[in-house]
Structure 1
Amino acid sequence: MEYSRLRKITALAGVASLALVASGCGGGGNGEPAGADNPIALTVTTFGQFGYDDLYAAYEDQNPGVTIEATNIDGSANARTDAFTKLAAGSGLSDVVAVEEGWLGSIMEVSDQFVDLNEHGAADIKDNWVDWKFEQGTDPEGRVIGYGTDIGPQALCFNRTLFEEAGLPTDREEVAELFGGDEATWETYFDLGRQYNEETGKAWYDQSSFVWNSMVNQMEEGYYTADGELNVEGNEAMRAQFDLLAGGTLDGLSANQTQFDWGNGQAFVDGSFAVHVCPAWMLGTIKEQLESAGGGAESGWDVADVFPGGASNWGGAFLSVPESSEHPAEAAKLAAWLTAPEQQVKQSAAANNFPSTLEAQAEIVEAAVPNELFNNAPYGAVFESRAEGVVAQFKGPYDSVIQENVFAPAVKLLDTGEGTADEAWEEALTLLNDQVVNN
C-alpha cells in the first residue's frame, strides 16, 4: 500500500477569507457501500504526530474495497492554511480532515461546509467521549462536525540530571511537591526558575511562547470571551499573567529556542533548559526530538503530575468530513472507527498522546505501561490525573492566529531581550489589529 506520508506544506499563506468560502457539493459517489465489487479511495489529511499508519492498514484489511490515501502535514499552522485555502476554493479537501482545537472556532464559522455526523450515528456513540470534548465538536445548531481524537491535559516535564546538578529533588513525586502539588502556582514556577538560574547560570524553560500559551489556556476566558468577543485589549488579568512571564524571561529564564525545532532536538540533550510544559502529546514531540539528536532515556527527562496554576488543556484534535466528500457515509464510518476507544488506545501508544474517550483512558491507566523514555513514568496515571478538572475554554475563530502570529512574535522580543514587558505587550496589540481586527 502506498501512502503519501509527510507531505510538507511550507507556504506561509495568509488565512483565507471566510467570505470566499464556496458552497460544497455534498456528493455521495454512487451511494453504495464500499466493497470488493465497489472499491473506493478515501483521502485523509492529518498533521503532526497522529500515529495512524498502522490503523489505516488495519482498516483496509477489515474493509475490502477501501483504500486510504493519507497525507500528513508538518504542523497545525500549515494544516490550517491548507484547510482554509481549499475551503475558499470550494474543492480539494480530503474525505476526512483533522482539525486542531486552536482553529476549531474558525471551522465552526463555516460548519455548514461539514457533514453533520448525527446523520451517521453520532448520537449513538456520544457517550464514548468526555462530555466537554464531544460538545467542542458540536456547532451552535447542534450539528456534530467532528469526532474527538486526543486531548492535551498538561503536566510538567523536567530533567532529572539538571535538577540534581542544581540541588533540586529528582523524584517525580517530590518534584510535584516542590512546585506546590495541587496548589502549584506560576509564581512558584518562576521563583524556582530564578533559583535554578542563580545556581547554574542556565535557562529554566525553552522559550516563552509555549509557557504563555499554557498560561492563557488556564484562564476562564482566553483570547475570546465565552460569547465570542475578542478579549485581549484592556484585559487586566491577562496583562498580569503576561507581566509575570515577562519578569521571568527578562531575568534570563528563557533559552530562546525556536519552537518545534530546538536545534533539531539538540537542546533536549545538551542541558539548554530544565523544564518544559507538557500537554500529553508533547511527549511524542520530545521523543522525536531526542531521537533526532541521538538522545534517549539517558538524557534525563521525566514527567511530574503537577502543573502551575492547576488543570489546563492544550490542544487535541477532531476528525471532520467535508460536505465536498464524494463518499460522506464511508468517510464518517472511517472517522468513527479511527476515534473509537480501541483505536484511541493504539493511537496513544503510537503517538504518545492521551485519548478523549473514557474507555480508552481507563484502559491506558489500568495497563500502567511505563514510558521508558521518561524514566518509566506511569504515563496513563499522570495524564488521567492532569485531566481532572479541565474545563474546555471557548476558542474563537482566530484563536490560533492570535497565539501564533500575535503573541508568539511579541514574546520573542522578551526571549531576545529586545523589548520590555510594555513594549512586548504593545507589539502584541499592534499585531492583533493587523492580523485580526483589521483583517
Structure 2
Amino acid sequence: MEPPVSLSIKIADRTARVGVIGLGYVGLPLAVTIARAGFPVTGFDVDDSKAERLSAGESYIEAVTDADLAEVAARFNASTDFAGLSEMDIVVICVPTPLTRQREPDLSFVENTARTIAAHMTPGTLVALESTTWPGTTREVLIPILETSGLKNGVDFYAGFSPEREDPGNATYRTQTIPKIVAGDGQEAGDLMEAFYAAVIETVVRVPDTGTAEAVKITENIFRAVNIALVNELKLIYEPMGIDVWDVIAGAATKPFGYMPFYPGPGLGGHCIPIDPFYLTWRARAFDVPTRFIELAGEINTAMPRHVVDRLREVLDRATGKGVSHAKILLVGVAYKKNVSDMRESPAMRLMQLLEEAGAEVVFLDPHVPELPVMREYGQFHARRAIAPQDIAGAGVDAVLIATDHDAIDYGALLALGCPVVDTRNAIASRDLPMDRVTKA
C-alpha cells in the first residue's frame, strides 16, 4: 500500500481539498479566491438558503459577483452537510465572534464549529481559524476541542490562525491583494499555513505564533477605534468654539509625516471596530491589566448616537418649534459605511431606535438597503422598506439626518426639501453644496 501524499505536496500541486466554514462577508470571498487559485473548495454553512443560492450561481454579497461564481463553478460548491468535512485536507473557519449582551466575547460559533470539525476530521488535516478573537483562543479553545476527536495536535492534525482583513466596499484591496498574516501552532503547522496562504494570497506575512497573529488583528481594530474616538471627542470640544472639526482634520492632513486623518461619525459600525476592542479588554482582566484607554474610547464612540439625536433635537426646536416627539425624520443611509449594503453594527439602527423611542416617525433612504434585514438587536425593524428616491419630496419630513454618505444619493434633492439637514458625515460640504440649512453633528 502506498503511503498517503503529504499535505505540503497537495498544497503545492493544488490538489488539497479545502473546506470553508461560514459563507458570509469573510468566508465567501475567501472561498472564491481559494477556488480561483486552483484548489477544489467546498463552502459549508448552516443556512440552507445560502447554499441554494450559491448552487444556482447567485451571490448575496457585493464583494462576490455572479460572474465570480461562474468563473470558479468547476472548483467550488456549497453544502450544509458537514459530514463532508471528512473529505477535506484543509478546513478554514470563518464564523462570527460577536459580543454577549454583557459585552463579553461570545465564542459559541467557534466552539460549535470546532466540535463539528472534531466529529468528522481525518488525520493530516490543517485547521485555520480566521475569526477575530482574543489572543490565546487558537491554543486554549480551538485545539483542545479538536483533540476531542482522539487526534493529537502537531502529530495527527495541525492548527493555525490567520486573521481576516476584509474591507467591504474597498475597490483597491480585495481578498487576494490584502497582505495576509499567518501563524501556526508549531513549526510544521506554521510551514503549512504559510504554504497554503501563499498559494492563494499575493503577500503572506508570517508571525511567530498564533497568539501574536490574534493580537495583530485586535491591535489593528483598536488603533482605529481609539483614533475615531479621539476625533469624535475633538468634534464635541470644537463645536461650542465654533470650529468645524472637518476643516481642522483637512488642515492637519496636509502634514506629510506624523499625522494620519481619521473622521468623526454618528457612532461605530461594522463587524470589527465596535466589537474587537472588548475582546482584548476581557482577556486583559484575566491578567489583572487595566485597559482604561481602550474602554474610554468605547464609551466615547458608544455615546455618539445620543449626541447626534441631541443635535437634531436642537435643530428642530430652533427651526420648527415642534421637537423630535412630533417630527417625521428622513434617515439617510442605514448601512454601516458608504457604498455597501452591510448592516452589521450600523449606528444608523441605534439612531432609528433612539428617535422612535423619543416619539419621532422615521423613514429611511438607502440605495444599497431596500429592506432592513434580520438583526439581533433591532428585530423590531425587520422588513421595513426604504422610501423610494422619487417619493421623498412628498413624504412631508420635518428634518433630514444623514448617517451614511453613499455616493448614489442625490444630496441636492435632499436640500430641495427645504427642511433642516443634520449631517454626520460632512456629505453636503464635501460636495460643495449650499450649507444654509445644514448642521454638522
**TM-score, normalization: structure 1?**
0.32
> Structure 1 or 2: larger helix share?
1
Instruction: Decide which structure has the larger Cα Rg and report it.
Output: 2
Higher relative contact order (CA 8 A, sep 6+): 1
TM-score (normalised: structure 2): 0.32
